[in-house]
Amino acid sequence: MAAAVFLLICGRIRVGTLGVDRESFSSSFLLSPPSAFAAALRLLLFLEFLQIDGLCAKEKMHSTHLLLEEPIRMASILEPSKPSFFPAMTKIVGTLGPKSRTVEVISACLKAGMSVARFDFSWGNIDYHQETLENLKLAIKTTKSCVMLDTVGPELQVVNKSESAISLEADAFVVLTPDQGQEASSKLLPINFSGLSKAVKPGDTIFMGQYLFTGSETTSVWLEVAELKEDDVVCIIKNSATLAGSLFTLHISQIHINLPTLSDSDKDVISKWGVRNKIDFLSLSYTRHAEDVRHAREFLSKLGDLQQTQIFAKIENVEGLTHFDEILQEADGIILSRGNLGIDLPPEKVFLFQKAAVYKCNMAGKPAVITRVVDSMTDNLRPTRAEATDVANAVLDGTDAILLGAETLRGLYPVETISTVGKICAEAEKVFNQDLYFKKTVKYVGEPMSHLESIASSAVRAAIKVRASVIICFTSSGRAARLIAKYRPTMPVLSVVIPRLKTNQLRWSFTGAFEARQSLIVRGLFPMLADPRHPAEATSATNESVLKVALDHGKSSGVIKSHDRVVVCQKVGDASVVKIIELED
């Protein structure tokens, strides 16, 4: 045995030569009986299992299990990051609020890398958010952005009319009551749900904190249900905390709340504010079943232009997790709300769901959005090391966008937060193992591929082989560009959306604006809206003129330079064409 260990240290043998089954080894690694010698042997075997060679003096890492490009030169870590026209391929969703609603701050957020502006109707009225949106319209004259409306859904809230801070002491009792006429205090907390006493039982856990809580025990509290008294719920306080702010929310671990996913107040906001502003995305909070998405889509279909609005299902609890596959099939994208998921799931399970969910979204070609990554930047100028690593790992997992909530809504440093997250994403993208990801995606899709899938994968393969600086994709619906982005090319994809003229015999209208803006949440896609035309005008000459405009845009933005190669994906007549062009001086 000692000889075997010695040989293993020297890199002479493999796990297989010791008769260890690779499939069972990883699961049994931490389950073996402890001893100093056995622990050392298990560690060495585990390192061999990961194929890390030359333990004595080598830095080169060989791992086919990670979506990580290799080898990484250690010296390159010390090199300064190079500025780029695109801050990152991964998109950033910023929630606009008190600290980020002026024209100046919104402009700075957009320039720092925010591509989607999120409006959260869990707090604030229509007039407040309309004023913020008007400021956004002024700010986006020199940049691009789209709008996401976040619904309230079946969210339980504490009714604190005085908006004064409430101090709760550990081991004391507090009563949750549906009587909203009562004044909130350290002994009594009115809530907006009359069925709580029927939904919980003694021993259940309730989490309460400031809306978009950052996890600090001083601003959030854990309660344990002690007794049920008719409609009231008596709880024992597990930790001392001061609830400060205008909005406190409750989350009950793994308990079904019998409230509609799309509430009447949500429908009212969508019908008024959403229709008026032609929202690009609807973030459907607390999505629990595919039927929730279908119901929301049916509602939007009756609201004119909003039938083009994409629905992103927000997974926030175990119900949504359980029905994830069917929800993914119905939704246009997924938002993983890790804050509430982290309450419903054990902490050690959250990352497993994230990796599995993002992978499923990637293979389906639908955007995956991750939340709650840099909570500490709500009050601090720099993220923790763990948070910085978390952002990078989310990029390596394959996420399309990072959603910032409290960090930009009420945080002290909204612009710096967006800039920092963008820089971390850009660095992670440099080491993303595109080759491995491409092969996995092609294998998952299988054969025979659909026509569009084949064209998209071929365009990416060609761009990688010739080291193109950009892929230009002509599209009217945006689907072709999204399929190209699905294969995660290392270069940006310029999605040239061709507006189409249509009529219903009463009026003329153009399509394309929604499709262009909705590309702003997809990793690696950067949209450009071409001049409108009639479908009959889609000739070779007009395509070439649009291509010239796209190339000029790429040159002016610094993405394309002289002698660069560009891959173009377009439709000529009935044929789909992928061509490579090399630019002259």
Note the pLDDT tens digit of each residue in 402-437.
Answer: 999 999 998 999 999 999 999 999 999 999 999 999
pTM for the structure as a whole: 0.83
Mean predicted confidence (pLDDT) in 129-154:
90
| pLDDT reported for residue 545 | 81
Q: Residue 541's domain is classified under what CATH number?
A: 3.40.1380.20
Share the mean pLDDT of the chain.
Answer: 83
Please check whether residue 471 lies inside any domain of the structure: yes
Per-residue confidence band for 24, with pLDDT thresholds at 50, 70 and 90: very low
Do 300 and 423 belong to one domain?
yes
Do 544 and 558 belong to one domain?
yes
| pLDDT reported for residue 162 | 81
Mean predicted confidence (pLDDT) in 123-142:
90
| pLDDT reported for residue 214 | 66
Mean predicted confidence (pLDDT) in 198-224:
82
pLDDT tens digits for range 75-108: 566 666 665 556 799 999 999 999 999 999 999 9
Do 234 and 352 belong to one domain?
no
Please check whether residue 532 lies inside any domain of the structure: yes
Residue 458, pLDDT > 50, answer: yes
| pLDDT reported for residue 304 | 87
Do 118 and 239 belong to one domain?
no
Mean predicted confidence (pLDDT) in 391-398:
96
Do 223 and 168 belong to one domain?
yes
pLDDT tens digits for range 304-339: 889 999 999 999 999 999 999 999 999 999 999 998
Mean predicted confidence (pLDDT) in 547-563:
87
Domain that includes residue 501, residue range: 434-582
Per-residue confidence band for 584, with pLDDT thresholds at 50, 70 and 90: confident
Residue 533, pLDDT > 90, answer: no
Please check whether residue 64 lies inside any domain of the structure: no
Would you say how long the chain is, in residues?
585
| pLDDT reported for residue 86 | 63
Please check whether residue 49 lies inside any domain of the structure: yes
Do 291 and 402 belong to one domain?
yes
Q: How far apart are CA 456 and CA 58, in angstroms?
A: 39
- Longest CA–CA span in the chain (Å) reads 87
CA–CA–CA angle 97, 101, 105 (5° rounding): 125
Q: How far apart are CA 400 and CA 368, in angstroms?
A: 5
Mean predicted confidence (pLDDT) in 194-198:
90
**Alpha carbon separation from 277 to 125, 147, 168, 299, 309 (Å, rounded):** 15, 9, 42, 17, 11
Do 469 and 560 belong to one domain?
yes
Which residue has better confidence, 505 or 443? 443
Q: How far apart are CA 63 and CA 43, in angstroms?
A: 17
Do 360 and 391 belong to one domain?
yes
Q: Residue 129's domain is classified under what CATH number?
A: 3.20.20.60
Q: Residue 169's domain is classified under what CATH number?
A: 2.40.33.10
- Give rounded-to-5 percent helix, strand, coil for the chain: 40, 20, 40
Q: How many helices (H) and strands (E) does the chain have?
A: 21, 24
Do 27 and 126 belong to one domain?
no
Do 479 and 500 belong to one domain?
yes
Please check whether residue 71 lies inside any domain of the structure: no
Q: What percent of the chain has pLDDT over 70?
A: 81
Q: How far apart are CA 257 and CA 410, in angstroms?
A: 28
- Report the SS3 class of residue 112: helix
Final residue of a domain: which of 226, 252, 278?
252
Do 325 and 385 belong to one domain?
yes
Domain count along the chain: 4
